[in-house]
A and B are shown apart, each in its own frame.
Chain A
Amino acid sequence: MRAFTRGLIGIAGFLALWELLGRSPLIPAHALPPPSAVFGELVTQLTSPEFLSHVVATVLAVLIAIAIAIAIAVPSGLVLGSVPAVRHATRAVIEFLRPIPSVALIPLALVVLGFGPETKITLAVYAALWPILFNTIYALDELDPLLVETSRVFGTGRVGVLFRVALPSALPFVLTGIRLAATTALIVMVSVELMAGAQIGLGYFIMEARSGPGRMDQVLVGTVVAGVIGVLLNNGLERVRRRWVAW
């Protein structure tokens, strides 16, 4: 509880600082509305079906992107982690692809995939792949040889070892990778919505509020909501990990 209380004190301090800055003459009033104003607008927006549809669109796209990233990265990680030949053959390509920022791929994705939700989902998948892939490979490297020997002594074959020993033993690392990937996916999703002329989504809402009426309070509402989604994703996945993989 003390940690919780301290957390609350920290948040209160942050809000107080923001309020002070927002009301100070140092920053123009329209550029940084104080939290009191933003929270008023937040309440208004949370009852607006239009705003909620933006939120739902982003959350849904993030969830889809995470699911696709898992479906690609976990099996690939299992193969790369257990077959050294494949790993060596693909290392150069992976090392080249991994550092490319997803946002740098926006123009390419727009040309190839168009302006639909495929583009933002694809780019978020691209960004979310790496933490899951590398954590899966790392987990297989860390696999305790004694567990493998135990299962082999009890007559488990290569494939059996992969599914009955390697995969469950990798699960805690994989889930950590998924948690990191979820936050990354959200960042990329909102960025692409902001920059690539999406028609719906939190990023689009932020961009519209800024470029149309110049409503910085709405911009900050979008930002705060994006942050809250990130925290919920992160804590939710951490809870899943604690609950299902408690060892």
Chain B
Amino acid sequence: MSNMLEVADLGHTYGDYEAIGGLTFTVRAGELVCVVGPSGCGKSTLLRTISGLIEPSRGDVSLKGSHLAVVFQDYQRSLFPWLTVQGNVEFPLRSLPRAERRVRAAEALEWVGLGAAAKKRPWQLSGGMQQRVAIARALAYRPALLLMDEPFASVDAQTRFELEDLLLRVRREHDTTVLVVTHDIDESVYLGDRILVLSGSPAKLVADLEVPLPAERDQVTTRTDEAFVALRSKVARLLNVGGKQTLDVEKWAAAERESLSETVSTSS
């Protein structure tokens, strides 16, 4: 599988404050990768450098394909209130002829189950529906990469589950490459094919984990799956959730390597 996104030694510094400290990773075509890390660890900076909103201080971001789309956490501030739902979805498509814009917008709204809401204004919809409009807008743009910044952090738990499943369905149906930034460990395991665990600040890559779960996932059974529980615990340990000391990433990684080799040697 080819790489859709290649990030090499990406670093960003605001004045004296180093937000990201040299990240290297790739996202393969058709993959859904979750970046998980504690709040304030530079995840948003990472997303903004990848999306080109800010120029990184160092390193390279290369995208295979002409453009990407972003779904922000704050859907209320990201949808244009003066445009209808359809107008919002058509917004990225202005280079296309009007008729084609219509078709693409209608299609994308169908994908997220909002075909009937095309003529409404965003603020007339519930939060979950607004975020679905934002997802439809991103999909209508046919991006090489769909970036999502804490996309479901501002909706209630029930809506969150619905939106997670919607994302999984849509990206399976349309073979979309997705990079989701989240602070929610469960969400990263549930959604991801792969999880990039960040820690710090500055943000550093602590682990790059394959998610050993089938592509078909279900809110009830997947979340009780042994592999799910095990991976969730592993990510939590990597992020030192509930730990008293602040995590020294280097030491921790070294310790883990050691303990792993120990386990291997004792079992052999």
The chain A residues found within 8 Å of chain B, CB to CB, are 144, 146-147, 149-155, 164-165, 168-169, 171, 245-247
Which residue of A152, A153, A165 is within 8 Å of B80 (Cβ)? A165
B: contact size bracket: 20 to 34
Quick check: B92 and A247 within 8 Å, CB to CB? no
Within B72-91, the residues touching A (CB, 8 Å) are 72, 74, 77-78, 80-82, 91
A155/B92 contact (C-beta < 8 A), A150-B72, A169-B82 known: yes
Minimum Cβ distance to chain A for residue B115 (Å): 22
Quick check: B70 and A153 within 8 Å, CB to CB? yes
Within B47-92, the residues touching A (CB, 8 Å) are 51-53, 67-70, 72, 74, 77-78, 80-82, 91-92
CB of B172 within 8 Å of the partner chain: no
CB of B123 within 8 Å of the partner chain: yes
Quick check: B82 and A153 within 8 Å, CB to CB? no
Quick check: B78 and A154 within 8 Å, CB to CB? no
Q: 11 A–B contact pairs at CB < 8 A?
A: A149-B72, A151-B91, A152-B52, A152-B53, A153-B51, A153-B52, A154-B91, A164-B91, A168-B82, A247-B81, A247-B121
Chain A interface, >50% SS class: helix
Quick check: A247 and B123 within 8 Å, CB to CB? yes
Residues of B within 8 A of A245 (CB): 82
A168/B80 contact (C-beta < 8 A), A146-B72, A154-B69, A247-B121 known: yes
Quick check: A153 and B91 within 8 Å, CB to CB? no
Quick check: B82 and A146 within 8 Å, CB to CB? no
Residue of A nearest to B74 (CB): A146
Quick check: A147 and B69 within 8 Å, CB to CB? no
Minimum Cβ distance to chain A for residue B259 (Å): 42
> Considering the complex of A and B, which 10 residue pairs feature the smallest CB-CB distances, nearest first?
A154-B92, A247-B81, A146-B77, A168-B82, A153-B70, A150-B78, A144-B77, A146-B78, A149-B53, A153-B51
CB of B141 within 8 Å of the partner chain: yes
Within B85-139, the residues touching A (CB, 8 Å) are 91-92, 121, 123, 137
Which residue of A147, A164, A246 is within 8 Å of B77 (Cβ)? A147
Residue of A nearest to B93 (CB): A154
**A154–B134 CA distance with the chains assembled, in angstroms:** 12
Minimum Cβ distance to chain B for residue A83 (Å): 21
Minimum Cβ distance to chain A for residue B78 (Å): 5
**A169–B80 CA distance with the chains assembled, in angstroms:** 8
Residue of A nearest to B77 (CB): A146
Residues of A within 8 A of B72 (CB): 146, 149-150
Minimum Cβ distance to chain A for residue B63 (Å): 12
Residues of B within 8 A of A168 (CB): 80, 82
Quick check: B82 and A247 within 8 Å, CB to CB? yes
Residue of A nearest to B121 (CB): A247
**A146–B141 CA distance with the chains assembled, in angstroms:** 18
Minimum Cβ distance to chain A for residue B130 (Å): 13
Minimum Cβ distance to chain A for residue B91 (Å): 6
Minimum Cβ distance to chain B for residue A146 (Å): 4
Residues of B within 8 A of A153 (CB): 51-53, 68-70
Residues of B within 8 A of A165 (CB): 80
As a 0/1 sequence over residues 239 to 267 of chain B, the CB contacts with chain A under 8 angstroms (1 = contact) are 00000000000000000000000000000
**A154–B80 CA distance with the chains assembled, in angstroms:** 13
Residues of A within 8 A of B51 (CB): 153
Which residue of B53, B78, B141 is within 8 Å of A147 (Cβ)? B78
Residues of B within 8 A of A150 (CB): 70, 72, 78, 80
Residues of B within 8 A of A246 (CB): 121
Residues of A within 8 A of B69 (CB): 153-154
Minimum Cβ distance to chain B for residue A113 (Å): 39
Residue of A nearest to B70 (CB): A153
**A155–B91 CA distance with the chains assembled, in angstroms:** 10
Question: Of residues A150, A164, A169, which shows the largest number of chain B Cβ atoms within 10 Å of its Cβ?
Answer: A150
Residues of A within 8 A of B53 (CB): 149, 152-153
**A146–B245 CA distance with the chains assembled, in angstroms:** 35
Residue of A nearest to B134 (CB): A150
**A247–B80 CA distance with the chains assembled, in angstroms:** 10
Residues of B within 8 A of A151 (CB): 91
**A152–B72 CA distance with the chains assembled, in angstroms:** 13
